[in-house]
């Protein structure tokens, strides 16, 4: 069965430092992968997706993600974190029935 | 374009009652999906509608139902409410199969 794992409940990083939020997946066939961000009392905002093509995907707000097929990972990265990036981040995979399976979420805390 | 609109934003009900939540997708989007978000279970897929037909269904009891109208607006109904139905209910729409889902800000349902 398709699944997504986000091994870290929380990631702490200082403002200006690079950040990484980890995601690994398990799918049969080619993966369709997504990252979303959720701010308090808001819905999910789409950041980026990987369907095919370059392994490095660039998205909104300076975020990017690296698809690694051999490690079945799709880690979210940003070269320089902002305090305003503090939020809940979700990785998701589209399963073979075309519905999104979400990870448990990672809370990113960026300290000034 | 206006985003996905969900009404109401907040709702308080008592056990045994029923509730109807509404979702207006982004203009031109014909696919509407519903998700339940709780601290314990995370984000779980409820169902997806496309052109007034349920295309996909998650693993929820029959008390949870939905429908979609000819203008793509969707409603979700929960009957015989239970305490465990307290959650943030999110609606998402998308333009096509390979496009990302865009979420509304949700309806927070509290059951007393």
Q: Which chain B residues touch A97 with a CB distance below 8 Å?
A: 56
Does the pLDDT at position B1 exceed 80? no
**Of A41-45, A80-84, A108-112, which gets the smallest average pLDDT?**
A41-45
Residue B39: the pLDDT is 92
Residue B88: the pLDDT is 97
Does the pLDDT at position B65 exceed 80? yes
Closest CA to B87 of B4, B13, B1: B13
Summary mean pLDDT of chain A:
94
- Cβ atoms of A82 and A93 within 8 Å: the answer is no
Instruction: Please give the C-alpha separations between residue A97 and each of A27, B47, B85, in angstroms, as whole numbers.
Output: 12, 11, 25
Separation of alpha carbons A22 and A60, rounded Å: 18
> How many Cβ pairs closer than 8 A exist between chain A and B?
45
Separation of alpha carbons B21 and B100, rounded Å: 22
Separation of alpha carbons B43 and A103, rounded Å: 8
Q: Which residue of A6, A100, A103, A106 to mutate against B (max B Cβ within 10 Å)?
A: A100
DSSP E strands, A1-112:
3-5, 10-14, 19-21, 24-26, 33-38, 44-50, 56-58, 64-68, 73-78, 87-94, 100-102, 106-111
Edge-to-edge strand order for the sheet containing B74-78? B5-7, B19-24, B74-78, B64-68
Establish if B101 touches chain A: CB-CB under 8 angstroms. Answer: yes
Compare all CA atoms of chain A with the CA of B104 and give the residue at the minimum distance.
A43
Q: Which chain B residues touch A60 with a CB distance below 8 Å?
A: none
Residues 6+ apart with CB under 8 A from B41: none
Bridge partners (DSSP) listed for residue B36: B44, B89
Per the CB < 8 Å rule, is B98 touching A97?
no
List phi, psi (to 5°) of A85.
-80, -10
Residue B9: the pLDDT is 96
pLDDT in tens, A44-86: 999 999 988 889 999 999 999 999 999 999 999 999 999 999 9
Does the pLDDT at position B106 exceed 80? yes
Q: Which chain A residues touch B45 with a CB distance below 8 Å?
A: 99-101
Share of chain A above pLDDT 70, in %: 100
Establish if B40 touches chain A: CB-CB under 8 angstroms. Answer: no
- Nearest Cβ partner of B104 from A43, A49, A100? A43
Residue A29: the pLDDT is 83
CA distance B106 to chain A (A): 6
Does the pLDDT at position A1 exceed 80? no
pLDDT (average), residues B39-51: 94
pLDDT in tens, B10-32: 999 999 999 999 999 999 999 99
How many beta carbons lie within 10 A of that of residue A12, not counting itself? 12
Establish if B86 touches chain A: CB-CB under 8 angstroms. Answer: no
pLDDT (average), residues B32-48: 95
Separation of alpha carbons A111 and A99, rounded Å: 35
Residue A9: the pLDDT is 96
List phi, psi (to 5°) of A62.
85, 5
pLDDT category at B73 given cuts 50, 70, 90 is very high
């Amino acid at each position: 069965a398709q699944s997504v794992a986000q091994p870290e409940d929380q990631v702490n990083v200082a403002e200006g430092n690079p950040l990484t939020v980890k995601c690994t997946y398990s799918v049969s066939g080619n993966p369709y992968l997504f990252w979303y961000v959720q701010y308090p009392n808001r819905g999910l905002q789409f950041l980026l997706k990987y369907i095919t093509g370059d392994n490095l995907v660039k998205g909104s707000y300076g975020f990017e993600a690296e698809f690694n097929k051999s490690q079945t990972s799709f880690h979210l990265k940003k070269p320089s974190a902002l305090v305003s990036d503090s939020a809940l981040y979700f990785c998701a995979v589209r399963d073979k029935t075309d519905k999104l399976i979400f990870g448990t979420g990672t809370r990113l805390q960026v300290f000034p | 374009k206006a985003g996905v609109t969900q009404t109401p934003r907040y709702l308080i009900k008592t056990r045994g009652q029923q509730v109807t939540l509404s979702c207006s997708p982004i203009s031109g989007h014909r696919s509407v999906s519903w998700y339940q978000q709780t601290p314990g279970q995370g984000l779980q897929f409820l169902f997806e509608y496309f052109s007034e037909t349920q295309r996909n269904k998650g693993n929820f009891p029959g008390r949870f139902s939905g429908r979609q109208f000819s203008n793509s607006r969707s409603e979700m109904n929960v009957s015989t409410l239970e305490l465990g139905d307290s959650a943030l209910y999110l609606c998402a729409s998308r333009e096509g199969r390979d496009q990302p889902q865009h979420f509304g800000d949700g309806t927070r349902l509290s059951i007393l």
